[in-house]
A and B are shown apart, each in its own frame.
Chain A
Amino acid sequence: MNEIVELLSYTFFQNAMGAAILASISCGIIGTYIVARRIVFISGGITHASFGGIGIAWFLGLNPVLGAAVFGVFSALGIEWVSKKTDVRQDSVIGILWALGMALGIIFIYMTPGYAPNLMSYLFGSILTVSSLDLYLLSALCVLTILVFAFMMRPIVYVAFDEGYAQTHKAPVQFLNYLMIALVALAIVLNIRVVGIILVISFLTIPQTISNMFTQDFGKMILGAIGFGILGSLLGLFMAYKLNVPSGATIIFSFVILFILAKVIQLSLLKLSKKVKE
């Protein structure tokens, strides 16, 4: 217990906890949209494409997160545009972008003279070393996402649910689709710092899937996903510190443990309600 109290007094650990909570909020909201609209594969593509941005920014001596953000948002808008305006199959486009981003990232990082960045921290995340700039960016993302959903959740859900019908009602379908895919890209890129490229997709899907076991309402699903996100990421954070391994791995590991627990609880609840009925 003393150890935990001591740990909480360190600035780096407070930053890490802040990052975990902020990541849970933005991922909880955006991830619910991703899961509901079944765009997990698109999100995976954007995630890996943004690695190209990290490489290019590193080569040019710019902030890698900035590079990833620009690259990620443009690939997201590109995927949306290509799949709507041309007859190229969407999943093929995603597959190409996915690999291209990773390839560009590696080429540029290796071409950069001098000290090579710690690749591991981008691939698996390093929540224990987040800077205050990262925290500001994550906070800004949270504020933006919360505002968008506070004011426009209904049209967003309606368009995601039945795009054709929304179109017959003259809803701004295209605007909302581009806005949301850009938000998805931003959420992914900024959360790469916390859990890393390889694992960020699970932050956007596992808490949502757990939440979806207990509620079918979009709004409640968001709240549940944020809750499970905070629980799992804080657990993972302590584990990462204790075992001295990358935070992304431990956070995802705790998510999966939570998932299994939730599944067991859900199944026993089902059994119980059946018994009560009998």
Chain B
Amino acid sequence: MTKLLELKSVYAGYDNKVVLKDVNLTVKENDFLGVIGPNGGGKTTLLKVILGLIKPIEGLVEFNNIDDNLIGYLPQINTIDQKFPIPVREVVLSGLMSHKKLFGRYRNEDKEKAKALMEQMGILHLRNKNIGELSGGQLQRVFLCRAIISDPQILILDEPDTYVDSHFETELYGVLDQLNDHMAIIVVSHDVGTISSHVKTIACVNGSLCYHDSNIINEEQLKTYNCPIDLITHGEVPHRVLKKH
């Protein structure tokens, strides 16, 4: 499988505070990576480095064989002004922003594509509604459409399971499983229970990053990675681990 993205001993942070230390990460085609970790551990910083929103203090971010524009991004929904006067169809189309020049206009095929995508996500009937009129789950679908309309090779989702019910969560991971056939996916979440049953690999970020190719986390690993998290997993013998460090 081809490598899409590689972080080599990356240090990153804000002003004088280093949040990420010596992070190494490889994302390959068809990867489905779950990023977990405590608040302030650097999950969001890691995403920002990958998205190019902040430059690493040290280290390399390498994109192999892909246009770095082709990263789909679904931000945390609470960072969005939900009273902003913008209809759903415009939000979806804005995912094609980088394909347009500053003065560019949308072609009919762009609009058709947006329509097909909204249909697929079951939000076509909402296309003329303002985003303020939508429920949390509908809003997530709109932002998912925006994230994937440009056919990205990597899709990054920042806590997509906040503000949605468990029904939508199951649906969301169903959609992500399908998308995973043609794009690598990185999901940040603090809901380890759901994430661990869907993703292929888990990265635990707490200053440094520990990355391993298995979707089974046991208590021993959590101890090693020093992550204070509540964990519910469904194995052969259902068990519950509540570990505080």
Contact A170 B69 (CB under 8 A): yes
How far is B90's CA from A161's CA once the two chains are assembled, in angstroms? 11
Nearest Cβ distance between residue B128 and chain A, in whole angstroms? 8
Partner of B94, one of A87, A152, A165, A212: A165
How far is B102's CA from A215's CA once the two chains are assembled, in angstroms? 26
Contact A36 B98 (CB under 8 A): no
Interface 0/1 of A137-179, CB less than 8 Å to B: 0000000000000011011011011101111111110000000
Chain B residues in 8 Å Cβ range of A216: 85-87, 129-130, 132-133
Partner of A218, one of B51, B75, B85, B129: B85
> By DSSP majority rule, is chain A's interface helix, strand, loop, or mixed?
helix
Q: How large is the interface on B (under 10, 10 to 19, 20 to 34, 35 or more residues)?
A: 20 to 34
Chain B residues in 8 Å Cβ range of A87: 15
Nearest Cβ distance between residue B114 and chain A, in whole angstroms? 13
How far is B164's CA from A81's CA once the two chains are assembled, in angstroms? 37
Question: With A161-B94, A162-B80, A164-B75 given, is the CB distance from A169 to B130 under 8 Å?
Answer: no
Question: With A152-B103, A155-B102, A161-B81 given, is the CB distance from A171 to B86 under 8 Å?
Answer: no
**Residue B71 interfacial (CB < 8 Å):** yes
Chain B residues in 8 Å Cβ range of A6: none
Q: Which of B47-62 contact A (CB under 8 A)?
A: 51-53
Nearest Cβ distance between residue A109 and chain B, in whole angstroms? 40
**Residue A217 interfacial (CB < 8 Å):** yes
Partner of B97, one of A36, A152, A155, A215: A155
Chain B residues in 8 Å Cβ range of A171: 97-98
**Residue A38 interfacial (CB < 8 Å):** yes
Contact A166 B97 (CB under 8 A): yes
Chain A residues in 8 Å Cβ range of B51: 167-168
Contact B97 A162 (CB under 8 A): no
Contact B84 A158 (CB under 8 A): no
B residues apposed to A, CB below 8 Å: 15, 51-53, 69, 71, 73, 75, 79-81, 84-87, 90-91, 94, 97-98, 100, 102-103, 129-130, 132-133, 146
A residues apposed to B, CB below 8 Å: 32, 36, 38, 87, 151-152, 154-155, 157-158, 160-162, 164-172, 212, 215-218, 221
Contacts beyond the supplied A87-B15, A155-B102, A157-B90: 6 A-B pairs with Cβ under 8 Å? A36-B85, A160-B84, A161-B86, A161-B91, A167-B51, A169-B69
